[in-house]
Structure 1
Amino acid sequence: MLDLCDVTVTFRDAARSRFTVLDLDHLTAQAGALVVLTGSSGSGKTTLMHALSGLLPVDRGHIVWNGTDIAALSEGARDRWRRDHVGLMFQDFHLIEELSPLDNVLVPAWFTRFRAGPLRARAAALLADFGVPADRRRLSDLSRGERQRTAFARALLFDPQVLLADEPTASLDAQAGALVIDRLQRLARDDGRFVLVVSHDPAVIAAADRVLHLSRGHIAQAAQAA
């Protein structure tokens, strides 16, 4: 499902000099398994996730999803591809404080033509599934863990075939974290989706089918989980 080849991503420092953040020779991965990406801070994990989603252009290389090389697409085409195929969970959530949890889950629908009734019902069902009270008027009424689960529900609104999640259990207690891990496993193994998770959480790593370790922009380890 994913075939990545000769991908390089560079950024500019304060002096406007280029430095390499990602330099990956080859990576393939299939749907149906929970893949966890680990590595120290600054190793390129979030950069890789953003490149895989098409949020970030690459300097060179190919990122092929089911025959579509998103690295070769324009920014607008990448945006359309991501909308149709990818659910994203950001480490900082990117929720809107002034909106209710339900309206936050519905934010992706602002950019599409959609029937409000069915999507509102799905959004409410997803929040209930994650134990988030949908009747709260503002996001400020939620705990940080409830906000994280709201972000998870938003990522699943359009029932994506690809889910990319950055530290999805970082703000959760053990019980809530176990709920999220179980959902990630079911999305991958039972529903046959492509699920890649960036995480330092030992519980998430233990639940993985495959663990990738990123070090200074390179994949240092690609192992099947025990």
Structure 2
Amino acid sequence: ERCGIPPTFPHLLGFPLHMALLLRPGFPFPVIGLVHLENTIRQHVRLESADALEIEARFAGWLAHDKGQALAIDTRALRAGSLVWESRSVYLRLGARDIRGRPHQPVATPDAPLSTMLRLDLPASLGRRYAKVSGDANPIHTSAAAARLFGFPRPIAHGMWSKARAIAALLPNAPVETLTAAIAFKTPAFLPGGACLMAGPPGGTRLIELRDRRETKPHLRGTLAFRAAA
């Protein structure tokens, strides 16, 4: 039986802090309409379910993006004062003007041959179920009517659900000591629907993609590297 906790779980603990930052009176954009563009996680030590973690989040700066204004939020998890986990999420406001910040550097994803690892069914209830767990109740994930207001024909899966599911499928059935997972969210996965997990050769840093059922359109693309417990 796998021990420890999923490496994406501390993100759920930090998400309310993201919302607190994005909902501050001085933040210039509405939260609804922000696009979660990327998420990079670095786990430095093995995490256990009994850990008492202190979670911090901070605004990490503006980023100039060719499609609008991007920004970064850094999250850290500390155990007994020591950094054990950290992440950076990049959000994008499409079409924003008066862009500021240093140029955005996208997640590096070198080409590699990919093999089909897993086919997934994405039920209509997936967005509502993940919203209950994560606290991310953005209506584009939970309501067909709201999704249509934002130009989507159906609700879309949360990007972090897709990342968590992909990582879970590729990790060993054993504790993970360290991990780096850098993911760019590409195109929406509609609910209900399906997806196909693809990955490069195992060992070292592994290229991963979640594509549509036809294996043509990427929903996410990035890299995964980890070290399992001895």
Pick the structure with more strand per residue. 2
Return the structure number with greater relative CO, CA threshold 8 A, min gap 6.
1
Please tell me the TM-score bracket, short chain as reference. under 0.3
What's the TM-score, normalizing by structure 1?
A: 0.24
Pick the structure with more helix per residue. 1
What's the TM-score, normalizing by structure 2?
A: 0.24
